[in-house]
Amino acid sequence: MSIEQMKTKSRVKKLVREKQKERRQKQHIGLKTSRIVSNTIIYIILVVIMVVWLVPFFFLLMDSFKCDIAADGETRVTWQSDTIIPKKFGFDNYVDLFTKTKFPRWFINTTLVGLACAVLQTTMILLMSYALSRLRFKGRKFLMNFMLILGMFPGFLSMILLYKLLSDWGLTQDNSIFGLILVYCASSGMGYYISKGFFDTIPRSLDEAARVDGATRAQVFSKVILPLSKPILIYTVLTAFMAPWGDFMFASYIAHTRDVGKNVAVGLRDLISTASGMADHYTWFCAGGVIVAIPITLLFMFLQKYYVEGVTGGAVKG
């Protein structure tokens, strides 16, 4: 190698090194600043959203612990209370809720309706989705589209008709639990969409193999498809349980006078529906709200992994 060549080589080396260094610095700074900026923006947005979401619940929680006594020494001042943090902490509201109102009854009602719906609705949705996913019959496409369009109409359009039907059958007021279960579950087959998407991703040859192996359609479903569908099963149970758990509108018009048939949403709301109720029972209402939130929160904490898998599972892989 001549001296000239060696010189060139070292020059090239130097050039390359400079270029690399330059790029590294540029990238470094660029990355760092842009990352800091974008993260800051993201966190600001997240914090704002979090505050918006949590503040009402925080107020509810604080109000539910308020045991402040008014100037007259008798009534509990709550509604117009000027502080957020209770002056006197206590579980009085919770105790009162369980002893002085029909809350336990409402709670049981809601739980029963929720559980019944979870079982019935899940069964119906999964069977419906499986049938739509696997069987080819006349009118299948039409049925699917029809139900999808029907599902776009808000449910309260049928309110008056449903009320008439249920009251004729004696399923309002005292018997409204059954009325509620009937109405919640009746249209559940229409919620086939997500689970059908999930079943579609399970290869049909599994069904075929099982059928050749001697399984009936029902056995194919219970022994092959269902064990493979845990995420979608949990997702369906969760949604089926949660809808009646939080429902107010429909429950309110079929059971509004008698405590026996109310669910928590209606019961709690009736506590504060009058001006005096609002003044006297507001803290009870808050305590009720906190209690209602507990089961759902727990369910979500333990099952959220499956819930997410269920929602996204249909789109990706079985």
CB of 134 to other proteins, least distance (A): 12
Q: How far is CA 163 from CA 43, 152, 177, 253, in A?
A: 47, 21, 14, 8
**Which two structure tokens, joined as six digits, stand for 112?**
């029963």
User: 132 vs 183, which CB is nearer to other proteins?
Assistant: 132
CB of 239 to other proteins, least distance (A): 23
CB 283 within 8 A of CB 101: no
Identify the residue among 224, 264, 266, 271 touching other proteins (CB under 8 A). 224
Q: Which stretch binds other proteins (CB under 8 A): 9-17, 31-39, 169-177, 224-232?
A: 224-232
Enumerate residues 114-133 that contact other proteins by CB under 8 A: none
Site string for other proteins, 190-209 (x = CB under 8 A): -------------x-xx-xx
Identify the residue among 33, 216, 273, 274 touching other proteins (CB under 8 A). 216
Give the number of C-alpha atoms closer than 13 A to the C-alpha of residue 146, restricted to the C-beta side.
7
User: Distance (Å, rounded) from C-alpha 248 to C-alpha 152?
Assistant: 20
Q: Which stretch binds other proteins (CB under 8 A): 23-31, 68-76, 219-227, 298-306?
A: 219-227
User: 80 vs 205, which CB is nearer to other proteins?
Assistant: 205
Which residues touch 264 (CB under 8 Å, ≥6 apart)? 103, 106, 107, 109, 110, 288, 292
Identify the residue among 167, 219, 252, 312 touching other proteins (CB under 8 A). 219
CB 213 within 8 A of CB 288: no
Q: Which stretch binds other proteins (CB under 8 A): 57-65, 158-166, 223-231, 235-243?
A: 223-231
User: Distance (Å, rounded) from C-alpha 155 to C-alpha 171?
Assistant: 19
Binding of other proteins by 214 (CB under 8 A): yes
Q: Is 203 helix (H, G, I), strand (E, B) or coil?
A: coil
User: 22 vs 208, which CB is nearer to other proteins?
Assistant: 208
CB of 200 to other proteins, least distance (A): 16
Which residues touch 275 (CB under 8 Å, ≥6 apart)? none
Which residues touch 234 (CB under 8 Å, ≥6 apart)? 303, 306, 307, 310
Identify the residue among 136, 149, 154, 276 touching other proteins (CB under 8 A). 136
CB of 236 to other proteins, least distance (A): 18
Centre a 10 Å sphere on the Cβ of residue 233 and count the other Cβ atoms it contains.
19
Binding of other proteins by 213 (CB under 8 A): yes
CB 41 within 8 A of CB 49: no
Binding of other proteins by 211 (CB under 8 A): yes
Task: Calculate the dihedral angle through the C-alpha atoms of 40, 41, 43, 49, rounding to the nearest 10 degrees.
Answer: 160
User: 228 vs 278, which CB is nearer to other proteins?
Assistant: 228
User: 22 vs 213, which CB is nearer to other proteins?
Assistant: 213
User: Distance (Å, rounded) from C-alpha 250 to C-alpha 33?
Assistant: 53
Site string for other proteins, 226-265 (x = CB under 8 A): -xx-------------------------------------
User: 34 vs 216, which CB is nearer to other proteins?
Assistant: 216
Applying CB under 8 A, which residues contact other proteins?
136, 203, 205-206, 208-216, 219, 223-224, 227-228
